[in-house]
Structure 1
């Protein structure tokens, strides 16, 4: 029997709080594959936190050069997610705000909803989460704070905590 994995969405941003905006969005699909897109900042998106850049390692210049237009990223997300209807995030408050900002500036409505990943977790999974996540980072050689890899990390951590609790 093959297990169905939740589709996980992660967003990297220019910083936290007022004025911040999405700079990269990534998803880990139910089949375990993942992908991510850099987002070209709009002219009015000027907030830039050097501390956030230290975490994700993405420069604003790189976004300008390599990023995809806001509307194209929003369309890609709708194309990927509309059939599923939902994705999960571990930082729902931030990610949902940035997702709303992305779609607002794209002049589009999302055809899916974002939900908190924690609603899928049992108490036992929550208790194992942190240690399991660290083990996955080490075992898989995951580069943190990039949207696609972080989404996959969350998905793997979900999968492993679920297996651990089922074995008890």
Structure 2
């Protein structure tokens, strides 16, 4: 089974003024990677509740974050050949991805689609319980971009196998 490429974005918060702070990928071969994003000077929105979830501080972003243009270039390099990545939070992730590419002065060389498009009704029924079982089994740390992307990919794989075994 070929695994889909999953993309996940952590952000400064939700809603107006929020921006991407970390982008992660789970590749078709099961490997994953992520980049912290250095906030632009005009990106000032910060929700302490979001920081509690992802555990990434503004200070860490300023220390370890990569420039917006570098992250956009990396995404294009990673995804150009595949042409597509999937997200479980398409509405948010697509907005933040668009913001990232807009401020980088670039166009994405791929499109982001909703993960739901790949899932059968049977997979949807199994999704939540399967994801929680994987978190417990593997000790996955939630709300970091590469870990969340990989968890989505593993959940996709396991629900597909469960459906195919029936």
TM-score normalised by L of structure 1: 0.98
Q: Which runs of 5+ in 1 are unaligned?
A: none
2:165 aligned residue: 167
C-alpha distance in 2, partners of 1:140/1:107? 39
CA RMSD of aligned residues (A): 0.3
3-state SS of paired residue (2:34): strand
Q: Which runs of 4+ in 1 moved over 3 A?
A: none
Structure 2 counterparts to residues 81-120 of structure 1, below 5 A: 81-120=79-118
Shift of 1:51: 0.1
Aligned length: 166
**C-alpha distance in 1, partners of 2:63/2:88?**
29
Structure 2 alignment gaps of length 5 or more: none
Look up the match of 2:155. 157
Please give the per-residue CA displacement for 1:111-149, whole angstroms capped at 9, x wherever unaligned.
000000000000000000000000010111100000000
In the alignment, is residue 26 of structure 1 matched against residue 24 of structure 2?
yes
User: Does residue 1:43 correspond to 2:28, yes or no?
Assistant: no
Give the alignment's TM-score, normalised by structure 2.
1.00
